Amino acid sequence: MAEPRPGRAVVTQAPENPQNVSMSHEKKLAQNEAMFRQVNENIEKAAIEHRYEATELPVFVCECSNEVCGDLIRLSVTQYEDVRRHGDRFFVLPGHEVPEIERVVERYETYVVVEKTGLGRDAAEETHPRP
């Protein structure tokens, strides 16, 4: 770390608790994803009840952190389950991933699987709907 240059004021006054701001923001984003995940759990249940064929994939909603997204993604129940068994993973449309709060673990033509990092990860695992 370089020493502060002489003659230049060192800024010591940080904005009020900046860490808390980003903390709650990160959690909020994770909550959005968890909300879409809950919607998808119901979609999957209905898809299984109606015995979707492999050629007729059920339509899920994008699980990105944008609360107004709600875009649709077709996944097979198997593909869905592959993501869902991980408490910290979500699937989103390509380009809907947010590198600051998650990392891409798998990339397909129609969707991307992301794994939560940081505080969002705790929030995601706390709300994981699977035992």
Question: For 51, phi and psi rounded to 5 degrees?
Answer: 50, 65
* Residue with smaller CB distance to Zn ion, 50 or 74: 74
Q: Does 62 bind Zn ion (CB under 5 A)?
A: yes
**Judged by CB under 5 A, does residue 96 bind Zn ion?**
yes
Q: Which is nearer to Zn ion, 6 or 95 (CB)?
A: 95
CA distance 91 to 107: 10
Burial category of 1 from C-beta neighbours within 10 Å (exposed 0-12, middle 13-18, buried 19 and up): exposed
Answer for which of 35, 69, 77, 119 binds Zn ion (CB under 5 A) is 69
The stretch near Zn ion (CB under 5 A) out of 33-41, 56-64, 72-80, 81-89 is 56-64
Residue 34 near Zn ion by CB under 5 A: no
Using a 10 angstrom Cβ sphere, with 0-12 exposed, 13-18 middle and 19 or more buried, the burial of residue 6 is exposed
Q: Using CB under 5 A, count the residues that bind Zn ion.
A: 4
User: Cβ closer to Zn ion: 48 or 104?
Assistant: 104
Tokens linked to 15? 């904005």
- Asked if 23 interacts with Zn ion (CB under 5 A), we say no
Q: Which of 64, 39, 41, 121 is closest to 88 using CA atoms?
A: 121
Q: Could you list the residues that contact Zn ion (CB under 5 A)?
A: 62, 64, 69, 96
